[in-house]
């Protein structure tokens, strides 16, 4: 089985410093939905691993998060794409949980769910914490320059071997090319 783990905000959809708190605020980055569909068509399963501390902060509730994800699923379906599993951390940073990236609890859960060795997995994010959570477990980390990506690149300290791509479309092209080599 082939698996790609994606962060959500800043990778699939535009991010906001004020959180994505409603379906109306969720807007896909151009080309991101088509890129996920291309992964699916190329035989990859896709898992989402997203910190959603807005729940823990009381900015939105589970029904709203589900409505945001329903909008994402419907939009993705228009391109023939799908998300095979969605994992999220609802906790604020102060909760010090094991699932909030940069800790790797969510990534470990994904590995268990798919019974996969993470050394064969690609993980795409726009922040250092996304990359750290996956790279610590051996996944191939990929930084996209959308969302917080450009700032993350400028700040440096990327995990060794991290690929840098303009956006999810470029990352998917590189993943598919690497898989076929």
Tell me the catalytic residues.
7, 9
CA distances, 111 to each of 42, 100, 117 (Å): 20, 16, 7
User: Inter-axis angle of helices 168-179 and 32-41, to 10 degrees?
Assistant: 20
Contact 114, 85 (CB under 8 A): yes
- Rounded to whole angstroms, the Cα distance separating 181 from 177 reads 6
CA distances, 32 to each of 38, 39, 51, 103 (Å): 10, 11, 19, 26
Residue with tokens 């896909």: 28
Contact 149, 10 (CB under 8 A): yes
* Residue 99: both structure tokens together: 């699932």
């Amino acid at each position: 089985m082939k698996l790609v783990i994606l962060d959500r905000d800043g990778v699939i959809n535009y991010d906001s410093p004020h959180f994505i708190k409603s379906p109306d605020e969720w807007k896909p980055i151009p080309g991101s939905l088509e890129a996920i569909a291309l992964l699916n068509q190329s035989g990859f399963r896709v898992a989402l691993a997203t910190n959603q501390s807005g729940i823990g902060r009381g900015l939105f509730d589970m029904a709203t998060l589900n409505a945001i994800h329903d909008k994402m699923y419907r939009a993705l379906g228009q391109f023939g794409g799908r998300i095979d599993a969605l994992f999220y951390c609802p906790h604020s940073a102060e909760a010090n949980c094991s699932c909030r990236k940069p800790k790797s609890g969510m990534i470990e859960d994904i590995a268990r769910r798919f019974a996969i060795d993470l050394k064969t997995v690609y993980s795409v994010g726009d922040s250092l914490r996304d990359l750290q959570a996956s790279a610590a477990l051996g996944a191939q980390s990929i930084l996209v320059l959308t969302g917080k990506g450009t700032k993350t690149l400028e700040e440096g300290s990327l995990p060794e071997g991290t690929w840098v791509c303009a956006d999810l479309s470029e990352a998917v092209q590189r993943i598919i090319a690497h898989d076929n080599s």
